[in-house]
Amino acid sequence: MGTLLVVLAGLLLAAVLGAALVFSRLRALSGHIGSFEASLRLRTDDVAGGPWSSGFGVYRADRLVWWRARSLWPAPKHEWLRDDLVVTGRVPLDQAGQPDLYLVQCRYREMVFDLTMSSGAYAGLASWIEAAPPNIRHYVV
């Protein structure tokens, strides 16, 4: 009986610590200056690909990094250099019952992917891309 209580207490402690780690990680990611919520879906051959993954984008000086929301991995899942990141389209999702959200279609080198983000986050992304030095600016849709 005593061993069972110790095991249950250990499992409870591990669950509480795991939840605390996840919560603190989400809080830290969302608290970065220049961070925004964005879901990501990788595409293949301009066709909608895999499932959506929720996460956070964070602007850096020369790159956009994207972190998965449900992960304890300490590094970002994707990094896109600003000079190779191109926004190829955007679709408002008002018709799909998601007001103030955009489906943003992007290309990075050979990688094609979609992001969903708020209109404010899209305005920030477009401004960030257009604020690049003059020799590497891309047209933003």
> SS3 for 85-113, per residue?
EEEEEEEECCCCCCCCEEEEEEEECCEEE
Strand, helix or coil for residue 51:
coil
Mean pLDDT (whole number) for 13-18: 78
- Residue whose tokens read 């610590």: 17
Mean pLDDT (whole number) for 71-90: 88
Would the pLDDT of 38 be above 70? Answer: yes
Which residues make Cβ contacts (< 8 Å) with residue 122, sequence separation at least 6?
Answer: 90, 102, 104
pTM: 0.73
| Domains by residue range for the chain, with CATH | 31-136 (2.30.29.30)
In this predicted model, which residue has the larger pLDDT, 45 or 89?
Answer: 89
